[in-house]
């Protein structure tokens, strides 16, 4: 008897189904991205309840319940998913894992068939795979003879194409190189090429160039550790499309090494940390536990410790409120200014992450005790004079006071290189908007992603509608990744990684966490690349910002998290210019010929502000953008080197009547050898004659 060409296969309930029809049914299941996503979630998260699976799969509204139930029934019917009725949890079956693996292989094969392979390098870029770079790396890092390096590089290349790897990374290529070296009994060369969390060659380069080791050995160790965590972020934590957007230059992620560990900006009331004395539980056991006190010396000492510890729990800025009320009871003390100066100076020695380091900002609300406010400004001025590059700043909140009460003293501070921002309401030195910290409530902001608007403009073919569409598509996955970051930072803080934050937020129970996306290069995108002029340019300018704000608002409702858009300084703006110049040519990229960054925030010419009114084009534009950018807009007043304190004072008082948030600044030359900055100089340090300026 001949067997049928269609072998019957058993099904639940005792019925049978021909195998060819069964295969067709399974392929019909694979045709739905929603069902593939459900399989992926179950494969990575393990057994889940109906509500957990529905939420993770993105079916959050009641209207989508029927659609989710339909997809789940399809998977159950084809036995790709099973239900444990006792525990009421769904699990992916072995057949489901096989189908998921097949879907992934099909996706990878489609990438291979385009004929090119791309490498995600450990230096933070995506490059077309070129075999000769493997040989160059072996010669440079492992000191291999040229003929031997070329021979082994050819063997590695053959293996890469034979294995048809789709997601090729620098670490993966290094592993294959080491494998080939071991197989050829070249253990000595292999040890030079191996990774110690990072390539040995990179470690050697860090030690051979100590110009960046401004904080000594601890700084090198911090940089090495952060590079490892940054690689983990890009290779394991972020979705591949978001990681690739960063590497290729569509966006920039600041401080990737601390992404999942600490927040970017923290707004906190210092009185909540001082009044009860320093209590860190089992953390920082080498730090003195100072009890609460009513003596100025003890309070200043406790505040100094807090100012030293807090920068370790934020990657960008800590904004301290409540210093004026806390010191008001000591305003009659003769040495108040001296104590505050010492507090700033001693805390400046604390270790910061990254470069230039976390800023600690003191918020001074005008309208409070003026004598204490003036004492803090006087102490800050002394600190700035003795510190080559200050990492402590002032935020002057003049919503309920007069700028003229402090403008003279603050102008002196700005002329010597101080960090000062004027605002109405809660703001950081960088112009990030915060909520008022009340009743031990801490406001936390995550804003480390900057969108490269010139890159989107280059790829829009002079079509501003397409530019806004690309912006929308880019922001959605980024905001989802930021939401995942919020959860991880909150979880680690709750578990004690950030003890001061955990203490003053009662382990994140009394805190508000917000997300903000930064826009970089708006002027270059609209005026330079799209080539628009006058009214058309202004309209597109606001349309782009409104598109970003609308995406943030919709995502905020979807995720249940405050999300906004900001325009402020971006640590990676110069990197974005460099990447765009490499891709489109220096002549095509604004600022590339001068090695300058893209526009960050906005700026107003301080030499012309005296004649401006609320109706002036620059002022009106800044005010309109500020209303649309709920995350904050930093408007800078960059003074010329020749500007004196009187010039700064007049411009500051006028700007305070026109702009909601602005930061006056003056570039002060600092000697990179001895730190001299007492008097202005141009080419060489008058003290040590060094030409190295920062």
| Residue 617 C-alpha from the chain's centroid | 32
Q: Is the pLDDT of residue 359 over 90?
A: yes
Between β-strands 632-633 and 563-567, what pairing exists: parallel, antiparallel or unpaired?
Answer: parallel
Residue 6: which region, alpha, beta or left (left: phi > 0; alpha: psi -120 to 50)? beta
Which of the four pLDDT bands, split at 50, 70 and 90, describes residue 15?
Answer: very low
> Which of residues 478 and 106 earns the better pLDDT score?
478
Identify the three-state secondary structure at position 272: helix
Q: How confident is the model at residue 354 (pLDDT cuts 50, 70, 90)?
A: low
pLDDT > 60? residue 660: yes
Distance CA 489, CA 497 (A): 9
The whole-chain average pLDDT of the chain stands at: 86
pLDDT in tens, 263-296: 999 999 888 888 777 777 777 878 888 888 888 8
Write out the residue limits of the CATH 3.20.70.20 domain(s) in the chain: 249-667
pLDDT, position 1? 32
Q: Is the pLDDT of residue 307 over 80?
A: yes
Question: Is the pTM here over 0.85, yes or no?
Answer: no
| 424-442 pLDDT, tens digit each | 999 999 999 987 655 447 8
How many angstroms separate the CA atoms of 557 and 677, rounded? 50
Specify which of 10-24, 120-134, 236-250 reaches the highest per-range mean pLDDT: 236-250
Quickly state the pLDDT bin for 16 (edges 50, 70, 90): very low
Does residue 693 register a pLDDT over 90?
no
Q: Which of 68-77, 194-203, 405-414 has the highest mean pLDDT?
A: 405-414
Please answer whether residues 567 and 625 qualify as being in contact, where contact means their C-beta atoms are separated by less than 8 angstroms.
Answer: yes
User: What is the pLDDT, as a whole number, of residue 20?
Assistant: 72
Q: What is the pLDDT of residue 31?
A: 82
List pLDDT tens digits, range 180-232. 999 999 988 887 887 767 777 777 877 877 755 556 777 788 888 888 888 88
pLDDT recorded at residue 283: 79
pLDDT at 658: 95
Question: Angle at the Cα of 578 (from 575 to 582), degrees rounded to 5?
Answer: 140
Q: Distance (Å, rounded) from C-alpha 453 to C-alpha 432?
A: 20
Lowest mean pLDDT among 381-395, 574-588, 589-603: 589-603
Of the listed ranges 106-115, 152-161, 453-462, 615-624, the least confidently predicted one is 106-115
Region of 496 on the Ramachandran plot (φ > 0 left; ψ -120 to 50 alpha; else beta): left
- Using DSSP bridges, classify how beta strands 635-639 and 16-18 pair: parallel, antiparallel or unpaired: unpaired
Q: State the Cα–Cα distance between residues 107 and 121, nearest whole angstrom.
A: 22
529-550 residue pLDDT tens: 888 877 888 899 999 999 999 9
Return the pLDDT at 108. 56
**Cβ contact 564:514 at 8 Å:** yes
| pLDDT tens sequence across 465-505 | 999 999 999 999 999 999 999 999 999 988 888 888 888 77
CB 234 within 8 A of CB 120: yes
Residue ranges of the chain assigned to CATH 1.10.10.10: 8-112
Is the pLDDT at 12 greater than 50? The verdict is no
Under the banding of pLDDT at 50, 70 and 90, the label for residue 461 is: confident
Per-residue confidence band for 507, with pLDDT thresholds at 50, 70 and 90: low
When mean pLDDT is compared across 26-35, 321-330, 338-347, 682-691, the lowest value belongs to: 26-35
Strands 661-666 and 419-423, bridge-based pairing: antiparallel
**CATH of 249-667 given 3.20.70.20, 3.30.365.10, 3.40.50.720, 3.30.1520.10:** 3.20.70.20
Q: Is 397 exposed, middle or buried (0-12, 13-18, 19+ CB in 10 A)?
A: buried
pLDDT exceeds 60 at position 4 = no
Task: For 483-516, give the DSSP string.
Answer: HHHHHHHHHHHHTTSSHHHHHHTTTTTSEEEEEE
Q: Does domain 8-112 have CATH number 1.10.10.10?
A: yes
| Closest by Cα among 362, 333, 329, 336 to 347 | 362
Model confidence over 222-261: pLDDT tens digits? Answer: 888 888 888 889 877 899 889 999 999 999 999 899 998 9
């Amino acid at each position: 008897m001949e067997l049928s060409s269609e072998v019957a296969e058993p099904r639940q309930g005792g019925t049978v189904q021909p195998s060819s029809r069964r295969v067709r049914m399974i392929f019909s299941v694979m045709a739905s991205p929603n069902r593939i996503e459900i399989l992926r979630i179950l494969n990575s998260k393990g057994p889940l309840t109906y509500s957990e699976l529905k939420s993770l799969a993105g079916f959050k509204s009641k209207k989508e319940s029927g659609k989710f139930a339909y997809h789940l029934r399809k998977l159950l019917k084809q036995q790709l998913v099973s239900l444990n009725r006792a525990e009421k949890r769904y699990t992916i079956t072995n057949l489901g894992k096989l189908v998921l693996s097949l879907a992934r292989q099909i996706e990878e094969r489609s990438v291979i068939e385009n004929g090119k392979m791309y490498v995600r390098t450990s230096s933070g870029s995506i490059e077309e795979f070129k075999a000769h770079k493997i040989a160059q790396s072996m010669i440079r890092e492992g000191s291999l003879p040229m003929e031997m390096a070329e021979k082994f590089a050819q063997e590695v290349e053959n293996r890469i194409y034979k294995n048809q790897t789709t997601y090729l990374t620098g670490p993966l290529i290094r592993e294959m190189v080491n494998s080939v070296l071991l197989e050829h009994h070249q253990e000595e060369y292999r040890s030079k090429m191996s990774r110690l969390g990072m390539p040995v060659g990179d470690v050697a380069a860090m030690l051979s160039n100590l110009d960046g080791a401004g904080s000594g050995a601890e700084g090198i160790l911090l940089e090495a550790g952060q590079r490892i965590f940054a690689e983990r972020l890009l290779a394991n934590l972020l979705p591949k499309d978001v990681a690739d957007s960063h590497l290729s230059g569509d966006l920039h992620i600041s401080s990737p090494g601390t992404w999942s560990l600490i927040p970017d900006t923290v707004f906190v009331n210092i009185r909540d940390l001082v009044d009860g004395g320093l209590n860190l539980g089992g953390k920082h056991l080498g730090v003195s536990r100072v009890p609460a006190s009513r003596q100025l010396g003890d309070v200043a000492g406790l505040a100094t410790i807090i100012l030293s510890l807090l920068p370790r729990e934020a990657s960008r800025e800590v904004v301290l409120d409540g210093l004026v009320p806390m010191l008001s009871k000591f305003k009659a003390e003769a040495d108040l200014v001296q104590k505050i100066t010492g507090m700033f100076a001693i805390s400046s020695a604390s270790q910061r992450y990254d470069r230039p380091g976390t800023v600690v900002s003191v918020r001074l609300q005008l309208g409070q005790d003026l004598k204490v406010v003036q004492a803090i400004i006087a102490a800050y001025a002394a600190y700035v004079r003795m510190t080559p590059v200050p990492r402590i700043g002032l935020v002057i909140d003049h919503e309920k006071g007069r700028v003229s009460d402090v403008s003279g003293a603050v102008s002196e501070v700005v002329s010597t290189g101080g960090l000062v921002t004027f605002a109405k309401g809660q703001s950081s030195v960088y112009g990030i908007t915060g909520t008022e910290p009340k009743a031990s409530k801490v406001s936390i902001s995550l804003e480390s992603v900057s969108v490269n608007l010139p890159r989107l403009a280059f790829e829009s073919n002079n079509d501003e509608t397409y530019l806004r569409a690309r912006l929308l598509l880019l922001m959605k996955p980024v905001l989802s990744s930021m939401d995942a970051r919020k959860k991880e930072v909150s979880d680690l803080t709750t578990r004690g990684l950030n003890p001061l934050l955990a203490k003053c937020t009662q382990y994140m129970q009394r805190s508000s966490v917000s997300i903000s996306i930064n826009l970089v290069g708006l002027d270059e995108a609209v005026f330079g690349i799209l080539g628009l002029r006058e009214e058309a340019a202004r309209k597109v300018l606001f349309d782009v910002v409104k598109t970003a704000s609308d995406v943030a608002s919709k995502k905020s409702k979807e995720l249940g998290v405050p999300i906004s858009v900001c325009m402020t300084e971006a640590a990676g703006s110069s990197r974005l210019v460099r990447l765009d110049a490499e891709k489109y040519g220096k002549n095509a990229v604004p600022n590339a010929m001068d090695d300058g960054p893209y526009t960050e925030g906005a700026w107003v010419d301080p030499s012309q502000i005296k004649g401006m009114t609320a109706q002036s084009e620059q002022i009106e534009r800044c005010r309109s953008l500020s209303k649309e950018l709920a995350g904050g807009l930093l408007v800078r007043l960059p003074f010329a080197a020749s500007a004196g304190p009187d010039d700064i004072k007049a411009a500051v008082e006028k700007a305070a009547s026109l702009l909601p948030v602005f930061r006056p600044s003056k570039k002060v030359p600092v000697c990179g050898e001895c730190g001299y900055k007492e008097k202005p100089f141009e080419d060489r340090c008058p003290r040590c004659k060094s030409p190295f300026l920062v």
